[in-house]
Structure 1
Amino acid sequence: MIQAIGLTSNPRKELPPALDDVSFEAPAGRVTALLGAPGAGKTTALRLMLELQQGRGITYFRGRPLHAIAHPSREVGVLLGEVPGHPARTVRGHLRMLCAAAGVPVRRADEVLEVVGLVSLRDERLGTLSRSMDRRLGLACALLADPHTLVLDEPATGLAPREGRRLHGILRAHAAQGGTVLFTTDDPKEAAGAADRVVTLAEGRLLADQEAADFARTRLRPRVAVRSPHAARLGTLLAKEARAARRSVEVVHEDGNRLSVYGSACADVGETAFRHGILIHQLADEVGDMGPRAAAAPDEAKSEGASPAETLSPDDAPSLLPTPISVRQAPSPLRPLRYELRRAAGVATGYLTAAAVLVTSVLVSVLAAKIGHTPQARLLAAWPRELPLPPAALGAGLLGALAFGEEFRHPALAADRGTVPRRLGLLVAKLLVAGATALMLAVLTVACDQEALYLVYGRELTGVPPEWRSLGVSWIAVVVACAWAGVLAAGVFRSTTAGLAAVLTVPVVVVPLVQKAVEGPHVRTTAGFSVRLREHLLSQWPFGGERVLAAGAKAVAQPVGGALTLSLAALLCAYLLTTVRGRVR
């Protein structure tokens, strides 16, 4: 059951709020329609209910607000607007990524695709889907975690009549199994035919809360839909016979060869047409809107005359749903990691970025060796002194920034909690994946540069440096730190560009400040820090671990290492601050 209490949006400047003190209920086991003309506040109501927009009021889903539910996607399936997925991701890949986030088996993706009729398009890219295919995919995303409640914003928009009837049959089947269904629409006929209860909004206020039968009786009126190649002649005869019999019959000429006859019955219209030899192509009972939309020309999807769910019997409706699944309620630390792996590997952006980094690194290394004045260690890293950061570090920073930047640009988890769920599990998963990617990029860069230098100049520049351990640790630390800085900065500022800018800020701004602080006047120095650290803390470690840790401490003591450490600490504190502040609100 959904209980919305006092939903009120924040006013915009001097304008009244889009939603003002709206309260209603959507009971379990029934389909509830939220009806209103465009601009009535339907979408605003849903966003307030799902805590996606600031305002007053509270909404309970089976007695709990959304922020108090451990796994919202398992309680509430949501369809708001278009599917917010990366346009280069496949339909199946997008659903499998969401399966990993929700902790459901990956086979669930194929099950919901079969339900919504998208099995044949599972390998299509999201950017190529039509409007109707996008609505089907949105419904599949909502059904993925087998939620108790479905909250859908105009789910039938753009669907053909037959697709719309199937959609409403799925919603009816979900309600028949004890679930709660709330959908919005601006078509009174759709609301009356598909819902058990209709909640009407007008200009941001609650206008009526009625059973569907009461709504149809007070808002709609019956009519006879007639299609005939001689519609004009038939309309004239019907009006003439009504005047002769002193009956109140209204004949409305619609587009083309269609008539809407109010105040009569199918039998009377059919007898009149038979007596005068008029051919009839369609003769059906309908209900017509008495509201302000009655004067508008109905589109083809709304003029078929069939109720959205009339072709589905109650016995057939439950078969439309995917089979129920058992979802483990216990939290799993691997769940966000699986999600992040599928997110990063599902599009070609990461692979193209890595390839561009390797090619650029090889070119920089070969050109720097030709010019000279670059030490061998810097040649292997493709890091001449003229560059603030090597290509590998910049590439790792860009991949790290994309990890959060794409979440805000294409928020696949929007239905779960806000634009991006600010949970530490997701952050840790992104840091782990970004760190592992940066590590592989650092190793591949050195290997490719070494091979290129050997092919161009021979063995002279490909020898192993004497201090390869400390140099290797410093190199990996720089690349991984840049990747982490990109992740944290993009998470704080909600932008890929901001994440990459934060990475570039380290050598351009932070490093000079650190150098100035280190080289300025001082009484004591940190000379011998690594030696003393080895003596007191790193006396005996297996496999020479004390040398690796000492190299890491030495790298931190350098200006670049210190600048990266300070930047990471500041970004992590900022991220944690925004996380805590978001939870308090």
Structure 2
Amino acid sequence: MLQAIGLTSARHRGLSPAVDDLTFEAGSGCVTALLGAPGSGKTAALRLMLELEPGRGITYFRGRALHRVEQPAREVGVLLGDVQGHPVRTVRGQLRMLCAAAGVPASRADELLDTVGLAGLGDQRIGSLSLGMERRLALASALLGDPYTLILDEPTKGLAPREAAWLHGMLRSHAAGGGAVLYTTSDPKEAARSAGHVVSIDGGRLVADQGVADFSRTRLRPRVAVRSPHAARLAAVVSREARAARRSVEVVTEASGSRLSVYGSSCAEIGDTAFRHGLPVHQLADEIGEIGEIGDTGPVAERADSGAAPAATRGDGREADATGGGGSGAVPRPAANAAGPDLPPPIRRRAARGPLRPVRYELRRLFGVRTTALIMAVALVASAGISVLLARNGSTPLPNVLAAWPPLLPLPPAAFGAGLLGALSFGDEFRYPALAAGRGTVPRRLGLLLAKLAVSAGVALLLALLVVLASAASLRLVYGGDLIRMPPNVMSLAVSWSGLTVGCAWAGLLAAGLFRVTAAGVAAVLAVPVLMVPLVQRMPKASTARSVTGLPGRLRDLAWLQWPHETDRWLLAAMRVVAHPVGTALTLSLSVLICAYLFTSLRGRVRW
């Protein structure tokens, strides 16, 4: 069962809250419709329930608040707006990525593709899906964790009647399995057809809380739709016979002039009247019309256009609540709290949780789009071409030739490609926030950060190795094998080359995560050779009185460890890399970015 108690939005600039003291229930095994006209506060109520907006109140999901649920994806499935996914990612890739975030097996994605009717579209790109197929994918995303409760905001908006009927069938099937379903709509007819319980709101306040039978009886009005080429004559005849029989019948002529809406009669009576007077009838059908707009305290208003999307009605909704006309009963308020004896507890907008399997999630996010392979391919081709050009004059050192790093370029293609991939690691998260739909941010969890650092470092090392191999193969093919000889300081060169690519990848990643845009990550990568290296080179250099020679051995003695002597050579090589101007600049940049990232993360955690 879902219980919403005292939901109240935060006030902005003295305006009335979008949701004001809203209390209702969505029971187990039942589809509940939250009905209201556009702007009545339906979406704001859902966001308060999901702790996406600040305010007051509390929502219990089977007796627990959402922030106390260890795995929210297994308790609540949410559909708010469109699918939050990269448009070039495949449908199956999107679901498998979200499976890693929810901590469920990847096979769950294929199961849900069959369930929602997308089995044949698993390899289709998200950006090429129709609205109906995209809504099916969004429903599959909400069902990944097999949740008990489903919360959907206008799930049938813009859908064709056939797609809407299918989606409501899925919701009823979920409720039949014992789950709770809550969805919003502005169409009372849709609520009457598909829901078992209807909660009507207006201006953020509760208007009626009724079962669907009582809702249809007290809030909707039956009528007979008649279409005839002699509609005016038929209307006059029906009104005259109703007055003669002293029956309360009201006839409304539609704007087209050939269609009538008759209230207080039946299809049989209208058909008999038309037959007796020899009037042809082209349409004769029972329909349901709404009584009036929510908030209309005047007389009952009839609408002429039955095809327009009707709004919910007030009618005698308040009286139905007071007399128990289908209402679910009052929901008890929580006990007094620190906010005051009569105020519900505050709702704090909480940061999104990180993926339960961060490394698996990051791998599927990175390789689920073709951008990664494209960037790596461009870096390999550019490096091979540049290395061939650099080897022509014979004056460029072999390490620069293999790295494809001419003096004119601030960075070699491999380092820039690694930095771009690192920047996209966080940049795509903010542009397509699959982890935090509706929150507008990305979770700053340590596990997610470490996973991104590890995966980006692995990809950078792979790219660095492939570039060297591609350059060597190109040189051997063009100039023969005599040009390539193993340099004596190969270990130091390997460490420096690896450190450059990994450092650029991390600089792009941290900057994009800090400034929430990919361009900031790319700028941070380019700032290392363009700004930081000249700054380091201009620093005054004093004479060195002491040396760090023998540091690896002293570290080994201090830690009581007996690592191989080969490790000492690696440590010394790393120290030489850090002492180089580029290494020093990269180290300083990474240190500043790490401190800034941790500072903003801690500040955001304290704020929330």
SS in 2 for 1:291: coil
Cα 1:230–1:122 shift into 2, 3 Å: farther
1:504 aligns with 2:505: no
TM-superposed deviation, 1:95: 1.5
- Give the share of equivalent positions with the same residue, in percent: 61
CA distance in 2, matches of 1:548, 1:486: 26
Quote the Cα distance in structure 2 between the aligned partners of 1:52 and 1:209. Answer: 25
Give yes or no for contact 1:161–1:301 (8 Å, CA) kept in 2: no
- Change in Cα spacing, 1:151 to 1:582, as seen in structure 2 (3 Å) is farther
State the partner residue of 2:411: 389
Quote the residue 1:138 is aligned against: 138
> In the alignment, which residue of structure 2 is the partner of 1:270?
271
Q: Which residue identity lines up with residue 155 of structure 2 in the other structure?
A: P
Match of 1:313 in 2: none
1:397, distance to aligned residue in structure 2 (A): 1.0
Query: If the length of structure 1 is used for normalisation, what is the TM-score?
Result: 0.85
Partner of 1:3: 3
Deviations 1:359-382 (A, max 9, x none): 222233333344665322112111
Residue 359 (structure 2) pairs with residue 337 (structure 1): yes
1-structure distance, mates of 2:537, 2:495: 21
Whether the 8 Å contact between 1:219 and 1:291 is mirrored in structure 2 is: no
Once residues 220 and 333 of structure 1 are traced to their aligned partners in structure 2, the CA distance between those partners, rounded to angstroms, is 46
Query: Are the counterparts in 2 of residues 404 and 496 from structure 1 also a CA contact under 8 Å?
Result: yes
Q: How far is 1:90 from its partner?
A: 1.7
Aligned residue for 1:451, secondary structure, equals helix
1:83 counterpart residue number: 83
Do 1:52 and 1:418's aligned partners in 2 also have CA atoms closer than 8 Å? no
Q: How big is the alpha-carbon RMSD for the aligned residues of Structure 1 and Structure 2?
A: 3.1
Residue of structure 2 aligned with 1:363, choices 385, 398, 405:
385
Please list, as runs of the form range in 1=range in 2, the aligned pairs for 1:242-257 lying within 5 A after superposition.
242-254=242-254
Equivalent residues in 2 for 1:2-41 (5 A)?
2-13=2-13, 15-41=15-41
CA distance 1:120–1:268, shift in 2 (3 Å): farther
Q: List per-residue Cα deviations over 1:45-70 (Å, max 9, x = no partner).
A: 22232232344444332233323222
How many residues get paired? Answer: 555
Residues 78 and 415, structure 1, Cα contact 8 Å, conserved in 2: no
Task: Give the alignment of 1:176-325 within 5 angstroms.
Answer: 176-226=176-226, 234-254=234-254, 258-275=259-276, 276=278, 278-291=280-293, 295=303, 297=305, 299=307
Any idea what SS the aligned residue of 2:82 has?
A: coil
Find out whether 1:494 has 2:496 as its counterpart: no
DSSP-derived class of the 2:357 partner? helix
Judged with a 3 Å threshold, the aligned counterparts in structure 2 of structure 1 residues 80 and 479 are, in CA distance, closer, same or farther, namely same
CA contact (8 A) 1:366 1:452 kept: yes
Post-superposition offset of 1:455? 3.3
1:403 paired with 2:425, answer: yes
Displacement of 1:234 in angstroms is 4.4
Contact 2:222 / 2:286 at 8 angstroms: preserved in 1? no
- Cα deviation per residue 1:27-48 (whole Å; 9 max; x = unaligned)? 3332222222212222222223
Question: The residue matched to 1:199 in structure 2 has which SS?
Answer: strand
Cα 1:111/1:237, change in 2 over 3 Å: farther
SS class of match (1:537) = helix
What is the identity, as a one-letter code, of the residue corresponding to 2:525? V
Give 3-state SS (helix, strand or coil) of 2:569's partner: helix
Structure 2: distance between partners of 1:495 and 1:530: 43
The answer (yes or no) to whether the contact 2:552–2:568 under 8 Å persists in 1 is no
Higher normalized helix content (fraction of residues): 1
Q: 1:441 to 1:21 in 2, by over 3 A?
A: same
Range 253-262 or range 396-405, more displaced: 253-262
- 1:440-491 Cα offsets, whole Å, 9 max, x none, are 1000111112222333444454222211111111101110121122222222
The alignment's TM-score, normalised by the length of structure 2, stands at 0.82
CA distance in structure 1 between the aligned counterparts of 2:27 and 2:499, rounded to whole angstroms: 56
Which ranges of structure 1 fall in alignment gaps of 5 or more residues?
304-330
In the TM superposition, what whole-angstrom CA distance separates every residue of 1:111-146 from its partner, at most 9, and x where no partner exists? 323333333333321111222222222112111211
Write the deviation string for residues 332-355 of structure 1: whole angstroms up to 9, x where unpaired.
998222222222222111111111
Partner of 2:322: none
Given residue 223 of structure 1, which amino acid in structure 2 is its aligned partner?
R
Superposed displacement of residue 396, structure 1: 0.6
Give how far 1:298 is off: 5.1
Unaligned runs of 5+ in 2: 295-300, 312-352
Q: Paired residue for 1:533?
A: 552
| Local SS of the residue matching 2:262 | strand
Instruction: Evaluate the alpha carbon distance shift between residue 374 and residue 45 of structure 1 in structure 2; reply closer, same or farther with a 3 A threshold.
Output: farther
